[in-house]
Structures are given as structure tokens and as C-alpha cells.
Amino acid sequence: MSRFFRSGQDSESESDLSSSSSGSEFSDDEHQQQRPTGTSGANRFARATFDSDSDSDADVKRVVKSPKEKHMEEVDKLSRAILKAIRANEWQAASEDFDKLGAAVPKLVKALKGESLPTIFIRCLTKLEDSTVAGALDKEDLAKLSAIDARSFNKLKQRMRKHNKAYTRQITEYRANPVESAEEEEAQAPSSASSDSEEEQAVPSVKQRASAKSAVAAVDSDSESDDSYWGTGSEVSSSESDESDDERRGRVGFSRWLKKGPEKEEGGAKEEVGAKKARKDKTQRVAVAAAAAGADDDDDGFATVGKGGKVVQKPVVTAETLNKNLAAINDSRGRKSTNKKEMIQMLETLLGVAANPLQRCKVLMALISAQFDNSASGSYMPLEQWGRAQNTINELLGTLEENRQISIYETADVHEDDSDATYTNEPITLRGSVVAFIDRLDDEFTRSLQSIDPHTPDYIERMRDSVPLYVTIVRAQSYFERNNIKDSLCRVVLRRLEHLYYRTDQVNHHVEEAAARLPGSAAPDVGGTAATIQRLCSFLYENAEPLLRIRAMLMHIFNHALHKRYYVARDLLLMSHIQENSQQLDVNTQVLYNRALAQLGLAAFRLGKIQESFEHTVELMSSGHQRELLAQGIGQQRTQQLSSAEEHLQRQRQLPFHININLELLECVFLTSSMLIEIPAVASANTNPEAPRAPISRVFRRMLDFNERQVFLGPPENTRDHIMASAKALASGDWVASRDYIQAIKIWSLLPDCEEIKDMLANKIQVEALRTYLFTYSTQFEAVGLEDLSAMFGLPRNRVYALLARMVYQGELQASLDEVSGVLAFSRANFEVSSRLQQTALTLSNKANAFADINERVFELKINGGQPPGDRQQGGEHGNRGQGDRDGRPGYQRGGGAGGRDGQRNPNYGRKDGGGNRTPMRGGRRGGSNQQRRGGRQ
């Protein structure tokens, strides 16, 4: 019989039920006093009963809570809800509760007035950080979530990075002593817990849980007590199996609470369904208990419960079965359904049971491959995974160093002997590639530097891993040298060279010292880093393949130029003949070639070789794509739009920020060199007709013309403005202003010998200002004194004399140098060269003559009906009357000795027969005037 229809003698148990279900604070006697005697169980639910009870609502005791207790309860409830949602992987609910928690915590902090926050809140924050930031879900786990849960998870992950900074101290204290914090949580928990506190009471606390069986037993015992409270287990199961929830909801009023009478069916189908449902409920209870028992971070002493409530037994791994398990793991690599994290955990388990170095080497190689496979292909490898992979590679190298009888070759046979457990240290060769691990580790390091913003502390923190990586490369080189593996040795030597060539000797010296202090590193080479680079490059010149030799040569050239050894670097480049076949190289090698040329230009400039510096950098700087050619970024493409694939490839080729050449410094060097070459050439072309007028540097000439066309020019601000202002001052002969503008450029401070370069530039500007002055004003003087030139430009007299002698010898000046009197005397031919105004007038006259000739040709076509002059000659042969000129004036022939412009008379003038077979001549219209003009000029 149902519990609700028992007589009044069960009032005590009914009052217990009502008190436990309603959650009120009345005792059993108070319930019996409020309920009329003799009322049956069904009448308790009648409206009249509730109406009579409502009269006594005024006597109900109300509990008044302070704002502090209310806020404590709210934060406690939300924190427990978030923890429950994390266990169930319900990230949408966790995100919503976290938003509510963020609004409730400030109120609680205000109410606490300086007291510590509840431990359940700190535990919730710690669990959220561990689940989102530290232990973020991988791609496979995110794919299993719904779209809403995945977005909520990513939202929480982004918010936790910033949110937990305010609670760093509390989280650190909780992590240091989580058990003690849990006890404090139980002590600080409020008396009235949330609705799910009853379920948590059934699960033992942290201190009471010793195994999963105890948790399961607790849940079973609690479920049995509930069954005995509500009635016998057979009644509950039969009532649950007899009627479904849908059928019960279909009833009206009190009938939905009535027990449906048993129906007799053949075969006992109802009993079977009830038994299955009871077993299902028990299975769910077991799973819930196991999940509650494993809610903490560590699961020591717990068992994994699978389907059907059965405990999943982990496979037993021993040294004898290691090869079999390792083969199974290798076979599962690359499959879509393979869980990469579980594979790594299994390999770590195999590494723990390895009985000898041979088995350790096998497991370590498989573990390194699995760790690299676990990283996403679209981005760089996470730093923690990269660190674990590096430690695994170091462990492999350490095992090979301690057990030199074991060697790893790429071309070795596959070792499939199952008797590894009985290995007795005999020489053996395994199949694998250590250099491939080194290449992948270095590539992932470079990819991470490409992805991290170089202007943040994260980039500097990442750069700290370069020294341990360099030690790993050196250890691999020692291993290959000991085993005489040439191909792998050349590749790893090139990797080591890539970490050294772009640094100065001082930086490399500190790197070598720091590497020597790390465990497993070799002693530094004798002779310094320059000798080390020379030894590495010489080894590659002798043993490497052509592509590796070319790369080693370019790195060697770059390093020589970096240390101001320009002549050595230039001779090495010329002897290698790399520039002849540079277009056939791969993209990365072409980038390295461009970097070597740029560094050569900087080295020549530092030594004062202005012409050589210009020649090395002109092709690179004139292209307009310096960033792409040096792999330092992607420039704006005006004419074409790059596809996403091409842009991705260019981003992959980019070099890390700390390797880049300063483009502003390179442009400053190029423009300064162009100024010192172009300004004297422009002055020479204006006075010397035989001088070439083509611009030497089109980029500089274009910038200078644009600057001269500006209506208003303010004071120079950037590097280009300073160089343009210096160029105009140099053209006018004001070498002091030109020097000041150049030395005011701040980019020179990036060079190690800044003051020496400024002094060199001041000297160069004095010399070029003197040459420009002589080219410009040579037509205005008959002679110039050496003393005057020396005082004007601040140069010694001997230096001025040597400079003038060279200019006269090379034919740049039409003058003679009188050493006795100290005078530079210009020749008569130099005076015949007109001044700039005369040259402009002559140019205008020549253009006017050309314009008149064009007009005459157009007029002849017009009067001849559009026919060329040859048709008029044919008309003269038929007896037409020829005329010397159209307007009746005597005609003059053009060109040579008979040209009309030379004032010679046309012998056909005045002939009556029209000139016979002679062609009518043009030019007589201006014949006399030309004769007078040329005669006057003579």
C-alpha cells in the first residue's frame, strides 16, 4: 500500500517526511498540532487542509540572516555549481555561473570587511584555471563538445588569464596545502547548504576516502536506507516499473499520486523491465560515486569504472611485453581515432618499466615522435610541450653517451628481436634519426619566435631557451662525430652555425660560457668564437653537399662583414661565384644571399668605402621590396594581391625579430652614400657637356626632386628629411650645414663605432663639397688659390693639392695646377663652356629651331594635299613650274655646305623650267636670319 494513504498511526513518519521534504524548521509535534486529528493521508493534500494551515502562518518562526551570511551562501552555491559543471564538462553552465559569481564576489568582499575569502571560492578559481589554462582541451576533446560548450570554454580560458591575477596569493597558498584548505572549507561552510549538499553528504570527505569501493558502498548503503524509508524495495521497484512518468502525468488531481493496481501479464515482462531499470539505476549510482571520489586532482587509490559498473583493469606492462606494446603503439600512430595524450601516457609508462638501455632508447625515440605529433600543425608547439620534448631528446642523448655500444642510424635495419629484456650490452644498431629530432626541435623554436610579439616580455622569456637548445645541438654534434655519421653531422653543424653567425664575438662568448655551465655540455673551443665558426665552415666546405656549402659560405661572409672584416668577406664572395647563380638557388638561400650583401654594404660604409657600399646595396634598395627580400615582413603589394597560401608561405619564411637587419639603418647608409656620389655628379653634368647626365641613384634623385618641388619645408624630422637637407646644403657648397644635418641623425648610435663613423662622414662631406664647388663655379674663375680652398673647406693644404691633382689627371677639370705659386689655373677651353644662363638660352634656341622645322613640315603637307614632298618632285618632272620658295623669296638648301641655314644661295633659284629634276628646297624662309645669327655669334 502506498505511503501516502496510511492511517494516522504513521503520523510520526509522515511528519519526518514532511519536515525533510519541505526543509522547514518545525518539529514533529508542531506538525501534528497544526494538522487535524483523524485526517487520512489523502486528505492531507486537500485544499481545505492547506487553507486551515494558512491561518497559522503568523506563528511560523522566521530566520533573519545578515547580508554577510546571504552573500556567503550565494558564493558557496555558485562555486559548488561551477565545480559540478566542470566535472560534467558542461562549460556553458560553468560560464553562466562564473558571470553570476563575478557579480556576487564584490558584494561579499564588501561585507567581509577585510576577512579572508571562503576557501570554496579559491578552490573554484584554482580548478577553473587548471581545467582551462593549464590543462586546456586539445583539438579532439574540443570536437567532442557542442558548439555552445566549446565557445563557453574558450571564453572562460581567455577570461581566467586576467581574472586570477587579483587572487594570485590565495591560489598559491591553496596549491601549497590543498588538503588543509579543504578542511578550512568545511569549517567555513554555512549551515544551510545548497540543494545538492544532500548528495555530497553521501560521498565521504577527502580524509575519509581511501578507495573507490568505500565510496560505492556509501552510496549503496544510503540508497538502501532511502528504500527502507519509503517502503520495501519490491514495492518501489514494482511501482516504478508498473507505471511510467508520462502515464502518471496524464492523471488529474489526487489520482496521479495513487498506486496503480498490478496487472497480470504473461512472461513477467513488467518484472523484467523493472529489474533492468533497477540495475541501470545502481550502475548510475556507482558511476556517480566513482566520479565524486575522483573529483580531486589526484586519483591515487581509485579505480576507473566503465560501462555496466565494472572496474576497468589497466593493462599490465612488463619488460617482457614492452616490445609488443611498443609495436602496437607505433601501428596506431597517424590514425584518426588515436588519442595522442593516452599514447604519450602509455609510452611514459613503458619508459618506467624499461629494463635496460636498449629498451629505453626504443621507448624514448617513440616518445619524442609522439610528443611532436601532439602539437597542432597550424601554430607553434606549446612551450611546455616543447620543453618536455627537449628533455626527452637530452635524455636520449645522455643514454647514448653512457652506452656507446648503442648507435642509431637512418639506414639501419629494423630491430625486431623480442629478447630485449635479456640485453647484455653487446654492440647493436637501431633504426632512427636523431638529426630529425634536432631539426624539428629547432624549427619549432623558430616558429614560436615568429608567432610571439617581439615587443613583449614573452619574446625575451622565450629567448632564454636558445642556450639550452644550443647545448642540445652541440651534444648531438659530439654524438655524430663519435660515430662518424657524416650526413647527419653536416646538418647538425649547419644548425649550430645558424645560431652563431649573426651574433658578435662578444655575445657568442657569453653564450658559450652559459652553455658550458649547463649539464651535458662540452668544453668551449680554444681560440674563441671566430675560430669556432672558421672550423665549422671549413668542415662544411670539405664534406657537405653543394647547397649546404653555399649556405655555410654565405653565413661565413655575413660573420666577417659583421666584424668589419670587409676585404676578407668581399674576396670570399668573389671567389665563390655565388652571385652568378643566385637566381637558381632556393628561396631561403636567396634570403641569406641578400642578407650577406646588405651586411657587406654596412661593413664597407663603416670603413669609409662609399662607392663599394653603394654598389652592394643599390640593387636591394632600388627594388622597393626590402622586407620581402630580407624575409623581415610582408610589404604592401599595390599591383597584385597575394593569396592566402602565398602569404602563409611568406610568413613561414620570415626570420625571428632578433636576427633582422635594421632597415632604417640600411636605408640611411644607402641614401648617405648616394648623396656623396650623386651631388658632385649632378654639378659636373651641369658644366661639362661630356659628363654623363643619367642619374646614378634613381631612388635618391627621385627623392631629391620631390623635396625640391615642395612649396614649404619645415625642419627635418626623420632620417630622409635630414639627408635631403644635407644634400641641398652640399650642392650649394655649405659643408658645415651638410655635416650638421648628417651627424644629427640618431640612427648612427646603433653602430658600434658611432663616433668614428661621424668623423669619417664629416671628412667625406668636406671633400665632396670641394669637388661640387669646383664643378659649379669653374666657369666663373680664371684661377683659384690652394690656400683659399683650404681655408674655405677646412682641409689641409696637402690634402687639397692631392685632390685637385687627381681631378685634373682624371679629366674632371680643364685646368692646370701651378705648384710653385699654389694656384689652380683654368684653361681657355673651360671659359668657352658657357654659364648656366647661357646653356639655358642655347637649349631654348635649339628647341625653337626644332619647333620651326616641325611647323614647316606640317605646312608642306597641308599645301600638298596631305602628300609627302616626294610627290611634288614627281610633279616637277612633268613640267610643272617650280618655285624656290612658297612666298617668292629665294630658297636655301638645308644641311651640309648647301644648307639654307648656312646662308648659301640655292642655285635653282629663278629658273623658268621649274627646276627640272631638282627638288624644291626648304629653309630659305629663315636663311638670311640664320646667316646673320651665326655670323654674329662668330
The C-alpha angle 334, 340, 342, rounded to 5 degrees, equals 135
Confidence at residue 553, expressed as pLDDT on a 0 to 100 scale: 95
Whether residue 326 has pLDDT greater than 90: no
Q: What pLDDT digit, counting tens, does each position of 283-298 carry?
A: 444 443 443 344 344 4
Mean pLDDT of 807-817: 85
Cα–Cα distance, 795 to 806 (Å, whole number): 16
Cα–Cα distance, 452 to 178 (Å, whole number): 34
Q: What pLDDT digit, counting tens, does each position of 418-472 carry?
A: 667 778 888 888 989 999 999 999 999 999 999 899 999 999 999 999 999 999 9
Q: What pLDDT digit, counting tens, does each position of 903-936 carry?
A: 444 444 344 344 444 434 444 434 444 433 333 3
Q: Which residues contact 185 (CB under 8 A, 6 or more apart)?
A: 118, 119, 120, 123
Is residue 654 within 8 Å of 632, Cβ to Cβ? yes
**pTM (2 d.p.):** 0.60
The pLDDT confidence band at residue 831, using thresholds 50, 70 and 90, is low
Whether residue 527 has pLDDT greater than 90: no
Confidence at residue 153, expressed as pLDDT on a 0 to 100 scale: 84
Is residue 41 within 8 Å of 14, Cβ to Cβ? yes
Question: How is residue 783 annotated by DSSP?
Answer: E
The pLDDT confidence band at residue 192, using thresholds 50, 70 and 90, is very low
Strands 304-305 and 311-312: antiparallel
Percent of the chain with pLDDT over 90: 27
Mean pLDDT of 821-831: 74
The pLDDT confidence band at residue 301, using thresholds 50, 70 and 90, is low
Confidence at residue 902, expressed as pLDDT on a 0 to 100 scale: 41
Q: What pLDDT digit, counting tens, does each position of 721-732 carry?
A: 999 999 999 988
Confidence at residue 70, expressed as pLDDT on a 0 to 100 scale: 84
3-state secondary structure of 397: helix
Mean pLDDT of 632-652: 74
- Lowest mean per-residue pLDDT among 74-78, 195-199, 345-349, 354-358: 195-199
- Lowest mean per-residue pLDDT among 290-304, 397-411, 621-635, 735-749: 290-304
Q: Which residues contact 888 (CB under 8 A, 6 or more apart)?
A: none
Confidence at residue 132, expressed as pLDDT on a 0 to 100 scale: 79
Confidence at residue 399, expressed as pLDDT on a 0 to 100 scale: 92
Q: How many residues does the chain have?
A: 938
Closest CA relative to residue 257, chosen from 50, 49, 45, 51: 45
Confidence at residue 841, expressed as pLDDT on a 0 to 100 scale: 82
Whether residue 276 has pLDDT greater than 90: no
Q: In Å, how far are 244, 393, 691, 922 from 440, measured between CA atoms?
A: 61, 11, 58, 83
865 in the Ramachandran plot: left (φ > 0), alpha (ψ -120 to 50) or beta?
left
Whether residue 313 has pLDDT greater than 80: no
Mean pLDDT of 676-694: 79
Question: How is residue 304 annotated by DSSP?
Answer: E
Whether residue 164 has pLDDT greater than 60: yes
826: β partners: 815
Cα–Cα distance, 187 to 118 (Å, whole number): 10
Of residues 541 and 229, the one with the higher pLDDT is 541
Residue 718 amino acid letter: N
Confidence at residue 149, expressed as pLDDT on a 0 to 100 scale: 83
Confidence at residue 636, expressed as pLDDT on a 0 to 100 scale: 63
Whether residue 708 has pLDDT greater than 70: yes
Closest CA relative to residue 767, chosen from 775, 756, 778, 777: 775
3-state secondary structure of 823: strand
- Lowest mean per-residue pLDDT among 240-244, 395-399, 591-595, 803-807: 240-244
Confidence at residue 419, expressed as pLDDT on a 0 to 100 scale: 67
Confidence at residue 79, expressed as pLDDT on a 0 to 100 scale: 87
Q: What pLDDT digit, counting tens, does each position of 216-268 carry?
A: 344 344 444 444 334 444 443 444 444 445 455 545 454 455 554 444 444 44
Please, which contacts does 367-375 make with residues 24 or more away whose CB atoms are closer than 8 Å? 367/392, 368/392, 368/393, 368/396, 368/437, 369/333, 370/329, 370/333, 370/340, 370/343, 370/344, 371/344, 372/437, 372/440, 372/444, 373/333, 373/340, 374/138, 374/340, 374/341, 374/344, 375/444
The pLDDT confidence band at residue 513, using thresholds 50, 70 and 90, is confident
Whether residue 191 has pLDDT greater than 60: no
**pLDDT averaged over the chain?**
74
Cα–Cα distance, 472 to 466 (Å, whole number): 10
Confidence at residue 135, expressed as pLDDT on a 0 to 100 scale: 61
Percent of the chain with pLDDT over 70: 66
What phi and psi, each to the nearest 5 degrees, are found at residue 407?
Answer: -135, 150
Buried b (16+ CB within 10 A) or exposed e, 820-850: eebbbebeeebeeeeeeeeeeeeeeeeeeee
For the record, the C-alpha cell of 175 comes out as: 596549491
| Helix (H) and strand (E) counts in the chain | 42, 7
Confidence at residue 104, expressed as pLDDT on a 0 to 100 scale: 86
Is residue 899 within 8 Å of 871, Cβ to Cβ? no
| Report for 14-18, 376-380, 474-478: range of highest mean pLDDT | 474-478
